[in-house]
Structure 1
């Protein structure tokens, strides 16, 4: 699994854990819903700005987001 796929899996996991739809996450993060969908599929190379928007929407800091076993080798 590449890094984009890991990132997308983490976003999808958090979104589902919080009970957010893609549409809701898109609205609260100010990121297009199609872009979020592509992120979750591992098809987007995400900028730090988008990462910040998504982690803010989840109410977690970036370090916490990446401190997950999925990102460890």
Structure 2
């Protein structure tokens, strides 16, 4: 299944709510031209805007973050021929990092 870009997603949210570029840009505390570039895929949305976007459209922040980070990953791997292998390897490395950090997180420095 093909997913839209994050900018296209924001555009769909904005037009679905009958908001102008100016009104949404003001709600997100960014320039109207910046929002236009985000919607047209010419600029990435800053991560710090996600909470404002979630509040404006009453969205689950965790779901919005999934869309945001999956787009960042897709931007890195889409030009590569073996993108499925890269995703699989990245997933294994992420799991390794989680396990490693979890083990390190159990150290009690207060009693050391």
TM-score normalized by structure 2? 0.49
* Unpaired segments ≥5 residues, structure 1: none
Give the structure 2 partner of residue 64 of structure 1. Answer: 63
Query: Displacement, 1:51?
Result: 2.5
**Alignment: residue pair count:** 67
Higher RCO structure, 1 or 2 (CA under 8 Å, sep 6+): 1
**Cα RMSD over matched residues?**
2.6
| Cα distance per residue 1:43-69 (max 9 Å; x no partner) | 11222102333222222232233567x
Task: Give 3-state SS (helix, strand or coil) of 1:46's partner.
Answer: coil
* Residue ranges of structure 2 left out of the alignment (5+ in a row): 75-112
CA distance in 1, matches of 2:15, 2:54: 14
Stretch of structure 1 that moved more, 22-31 or 46-55: 46-55
Instruction: Tell me the equivalent position of 2:39.
Output: 40
Q: When the two structures are superposed, what TM-score results if normalisation uses the length of structure 1? A: 0.71
CA distance in 2, matches of 1:67, 1:24: 25
Structural mapping, 1:2-21, within 5 Å: 6-21=5-20
Query: How many angstroms apart in 2 are the aligned matches of 1:51 and 1:16?
Result: 18
